[in-house]
């Protein structure tokens, strides 16, 4: 579906002003989410500092200002912009902003209401704080990576669990919580969003299960990690895959009835891990007998909980996602629409904005913002 998604000044965060110091990965994605929800962002980038991983979608909805933070004039202009802001996002290693003269102490002295969002992999302190890392290393130490993948070896789940799940989403939640606090108290604060902390938080349920002896450290040996025969993916006759997940007994009963497995007594023993290899082999044979589309015609949309495993190129054409306009096409690029959805102040992808000068960005924020009045 083509959409211009004209946003105007709407969205639940309309009037919120955020300065984003350009980075890669979770910082820009957090900024994208806030921009989609109506916040007005200015992205500060160094000369020639384009992000090779997010040239379009992830940097949507905000203009870029090129600044040399080692230049006295640009530094003074940046501080002037921050005086007018409600929040800041930066993703440098600990100490970099301080060396530039833009650390929390300097900035909060000039703007005590500012929420200072810091996005790092290891956090602002600890033995690894100043070490390099990436999503895969951050989730490795939290127990998350060890739990994901086939039995033979852990597999990185793209950068969804670390950068975006444990990083961006926790940074957004922290900034919004900080703004609520600043609105009550008049005082801003630092939000130390570390990917390792967020990824560990995402593992809360599994940490509890492990402490109770209800979670095995072996991959493909548990309920939700592909171990259970009725919660995993299967190859079909055409080489494509389906995912099944009839966890609840009533859904499992329906799944068995629709697939003809209700006549096989082995499937009565679904909660016996000793039977899982047998049931997996039987289900592999079952699903190999039809194409993915044939299985979807039989089971998709029922409480048997089956879905096709779609490639990215296919996902935008799935009927349910088309009906909900989950993907939109803007300027020839298909991309996810803003999420979540708001009934009264809808989010939107704002039209592209050309680059600004630092003076133009400061002039835009010359008046009192809604969140600072």
Catalytic residue positions, numbered: 134, 163
Q: What angle do CA 270, 302, 321 make, to 5 degrees?
A: 120
Q: Token digits for 278?
A: 């047998």
State both tokens at 331. Answer: 């300027």
DSSP letter at 356 equals B
**Orientation of helix 169-185 relative to helix 195-202, angle to 10°:** 100
- Look at the block and give the residue holding tokens 């211009």: 4
| Token reading at 150 | 């086939």
Q: Which residues pair with 327 in a beta bridge?
A: 336
Count of CB atoms situated within 10 Å of the CB of 273: 14
How far apart are alpha carbons 55 and 45 in whole angstroms? 13
Cβ atoms 161, 195 nearer than 8 A: no
d(CA 159, CA 157): 6
Cross-strand bridge partners of residue 336:
327
Q: For residue 245, which of 215, 273, 223 has the smallest C-alpha distance?
A: 223
Q: How far is CA 323 from CA 7, 229, 320, 362, 369, in A?
A: 21, 31, 5, 41, 37
């Amino acid at each position: 579906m083509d959409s211009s998604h004209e946003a105007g000044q709407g969205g639940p965060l309309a009037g919120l002003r955020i300065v984003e110091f350009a980075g890669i990965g979770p910082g820009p994605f957090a900024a994208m989410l806030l921009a989609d929800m109506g916040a007005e962002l200015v992205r500060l980038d160094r000369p020639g500092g384009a992000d090779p991983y997010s040239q379009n979608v992830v940097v949507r909805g905000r203009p870029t200002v090129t600044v040399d933070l080692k230049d006295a004039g640009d530094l003074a202009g940046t501080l002037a912009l921050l005086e007018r802001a409600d929040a800041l996002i930066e993703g440098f290693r600990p100490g970099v902003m301080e060396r530039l003269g833009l650390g929390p102490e300097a900035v909060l002295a000039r703007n005590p209401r500012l929420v200072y969002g810091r996005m790092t992999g290891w956090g602002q302190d600890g033995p690894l704080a100043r070490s390099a890392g990436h999503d895969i290393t951050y989730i490795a130490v939290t127990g998350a990576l060890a739990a994901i993948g086939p039995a033979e070896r852990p597999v990185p789940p793209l950068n969804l669990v670390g950068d975006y799940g444990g990083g961006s989403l926790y940074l957004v939640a922290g900034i919004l919580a900080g703004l609520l606090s600043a609105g009550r108290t008049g005082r801003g604060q630092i939000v130390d969003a570390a990917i390792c902390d967020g990824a560990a938080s995402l593992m809360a349920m599994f940490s509890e299960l492990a402490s109770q002896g209800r979670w095995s450290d072996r991959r493909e040996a548990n309920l939700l990690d592909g171990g259970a025969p009725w919660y995993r993916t299967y190859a079909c006759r055409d080489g494509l895959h389906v995912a099944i997940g009839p966890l609840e007994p009533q859904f499992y009963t329906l799944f068995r009835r629709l697939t003809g497995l209700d006549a096989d007594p082995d499937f009565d023993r679904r909660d016996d891990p000793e039977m899982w290899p047998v049931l997996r082999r039987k289900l592999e044979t079952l699903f190999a007998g039809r194409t993915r589309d044939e299985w979807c015609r039989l089971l998709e949309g029922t409480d048997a909980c089956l879905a096709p495993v779609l490639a990215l190129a296919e996902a935008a054409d799935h009927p349910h996602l088309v009906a909900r306009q989950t993907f939109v096409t803007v300027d020839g690029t298909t991309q996810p629409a803003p999420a979540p959805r708001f009934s009264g102040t809808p989010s939107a992808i704002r039209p592209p904005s050309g680059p600004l000068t630092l003076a133009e960005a400061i002039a835009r924020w010359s008046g009192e913002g809604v969140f600072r009045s």
